[in-house]
Structure 1
Amino acid sequence: MHSLIRIVVVSMALLPCFAMADSAEQEVTRLEDAWRTARIHGDTAFLERVYARDLEIGTMDGNAVPRDQDIALFASGDIKPKFIDHGPLRIQVSGDTAVVSGVDHLGGTYKGHYGEMSIRFTNVWLRHAGQWQLIASQNTRVQEKPH
């Protein structure tokens, strides 16, 4: 009987930890969706808020775009996504850090040239003072498989 009571007490003590993880996962999921929407609409104010000061975005060609340069591309209209659709997201939360990976299918223009592609991405979010910020992002183009 004491073992059963102990299991119930321990389970109840751990329940808030699981709820916090679910809550953080839900927050990060909403942020991922809001980030895509902000990029489609050129919402640079949103990007300014969620991009960490030292963020660099790893590009498909092996380069890294600094935070302010990425924001400037959206502000200038050089990048105009028409859509950014993601498949299932894999979200791993550990304390105040979340790692999100998945595949996006996107389409739009870059300096006036239209294109569509799929990219595999990994985003790292850090919660600081109650706010999540994107601290790292890496993208790799998914090669089309031959038919």
Structure 2
Amino acid sequence: MSALEEIQFVEQRLREAMLNSDIKELDALLSDELLVTGPDGKLVGKADDLAAHRTGIVRIKAMVPQEIIVKILPEAAVVFALMAMQGFIQDQAFEGLYRYTRVWSKQTGNWQIIAAHISAAS
């Protein structure tokens, strides 16, 4: 399997894990070193991200890719994704387009996200 195919596969696993709040799968896909800039501008780590799914603070009901661009680098991959999303954050409904930038690194033989940025897109 090529690096591009591997990234496409882990991106699909990630979407399914986010939709199902699958903590075990998210734990496998997120690096312990993860830092994410959320749409509110706050910086969070892996533990915070997992806790948001575990406690139901974040519940994603739909996540439909509108555009995905993958840049393969020697030791990493960068994914630029535009997603149509809907769900709830702290029981507040949200719906719209969101732009994700994710940096995947192949750590210990497995691809994991080490950095991400999420912002609302118009």
TM-score, length-normalised on structure 1? 0.79
* Greater Rg by CA: 1
1:120 aligns with 2:102: no
TM-superposed CA distance for 1:99, in Å, is: 0.4
Cα distance in 1, alignment partners of residues 72 and 44 from structure 2: 25
Deviation per residue, 1:106-137 (Å, 9 max, x gap): 10111222220111111000012321010000
TM-superposed CA distance for 1:65, in Å, is: 1.3
RMSD over aligned CA atoms reads 1.2
Q: What SS does the aligned partner of 1:90 have? A: strand
Cα distance in 2, alignment partners of residues 56 and 74 from structure 1: 16
For structure 1, which runs of at least 5 residues remain unmatched after alignment?
Answer: 1-19
Identity rate, percent: 25
* Off by >6 Å, runs of 4+ in structure 1: none
The equivalent of 2:13 in structure 1 is 34
Query: Is the CA contact 2:67–2:83 (under 8 Å) kept in the aligned structure 1?
Result: no
Cα distance in 2, alignment partners of residues 129 and 70 from structure 1: 21
The aligned length equals: 122
Query: Is the CA contact 1:96–1:128 (under 8 Å) kept in the aligned structure 2?
Result: no
> Greater strand share, 1 or 2?
2
Structure possessing the higher relative contact order (Cα contacts under 8 Å, 6 or more residues apart):
2
Match of 1:135 among 87, 111, 114: 114
Q: How does 1:39-118 map to 2 (within 5 A)?
A: 39-118=18-97
TM-score, length-normalised on structure 2? 0.94
Q: What SS does the aligned partner of 2:31 have? A: coil
Cα distance in 2, alignment partners of residues 59 and 128 from structure 1: 23
For structure 2, which runs of at least 5 residues remain unmatched after alignment?
Answer: none
Deviation per residue, 1:28-57 (Å, 9 max, x gap): 011111101101101000111111111011
Query: Is the CA contact 2:100–2:116 (under 8 Å) kept in the aligned structure 1?
Result: yes
